[in-house]
Chain A
């Protein structure tokens, strides 16, 4: 059974720090990996999509990388801001995405 694990479950950092969120998956034949952000009481917003033939994607202060051989993806957030506070989820799959349980991030002003 495919599983997606995210560590840590929660993280608090001071504003301005660079941070890394981790996602690991058991499916070696990974197709695509997406990182999402979820604010309390809201839906999910897709941040970055890494397709199977790619190794990383960047958008502004966010960079996501994918290492299929180790079954890991990381989301790097540069110069964190209080507005980055949210839950970050990774999901692996094709159309049938398997979601991790998320990392709750709090950036302190």
Chain B
């Protein structure tokens, strides 16, 4: 299996622009997570999907952030408009059943908002 696939690996954009991050989970996994990692705050869970349905989005920082999972093999995280404080590494992770299961992470998207 190719693992969790994220794109792009790096994204540099200007403040105010829309940013879309993409994720393909491991085939057969029904839980998907978006995390953000910064030096100051470490790893934070942004949103959790189970069977393509958002279960917990309490970690989404504000309305500028939105996430979708239109099918079992694809998810997006969108930031609009982007701000410099959104600069971070964004990780997507998946697991087979969500609860009590190993998490498998993608390689992340390094986002820089200038």
The chain A residues found within 8 Å of chain B, CB to CB, are 31-32, 34, 36, 42-46, 49, 51-52, 89, 91, 94-97, 99-102
Q: How far is the CB of B111 from chain A (nearest CB, A)?
A: 14
Q: In the complex the two chains form, is B106's CB within 8 Å of A43's CB?
A: yes
Which of A44, A51, A100 is B103 in contact with, Cβ under 8 Å? A44
| A-B interface contact total, Cβ < 8 Å | 55
B108 at the interface (CB under 8 A from A): yes
Interface residues on B, range: 20 to 34
Contact with A along B50-63 (1 / 0, CB 8 A): 10000110000000
- Give 28 A-B contacts (CB < 8 Å), ordered by A residue: A31-B100, A34-B102, A36-B105, A42-B107, A43-B4, A43-B91, A43-B105, A43-B107, A44-B43, A44-B91, A44-B93, A44-B103, A45-B105, A46-B103, A49-B101, A49-B102, A51-B100, A89-B43, A91-B103, A95-B33, A95-B50, A95-B99, A96-B48, A96-B56, A97-B45, A99-B42, A100-B42, A101-B42
The residue on A at minimum CB distance from B3 is: A43
B104 at the interface (CB under 8 A from A): yes
Which of B50, B56, B103 is A34 in contact with, Cβ under 8 Å? B103
Which residues of chain B have C-beta atoms less than 8 A from A34's C-beta?
Answer: 102-103
Which residues of chain B have C-beta atoms less than 8 A from A99's C-beta?
Answer: 42-43
The residue on B at minimum CB distance from A4 is: B42
- With A31-B100, A43-B91 in contact, is A96–B105 under 8 Å at CB? no
Given contacts A32-B100, A43-B4, 4 further A-B contacts (CB under 8 A): A44-B105, A49-B100, A49-B101, A100-B42
The residue on B at minimum CB distance from A52 is: B100
- With A44-B91, A99-B42 in contact, is A94–B108 under 8 Å at CB? no
Q: In the complex the two chains form, is A95's CB within 8 Å of B102's CB?
A: no
A16 to B66, CA, bound (A): 47
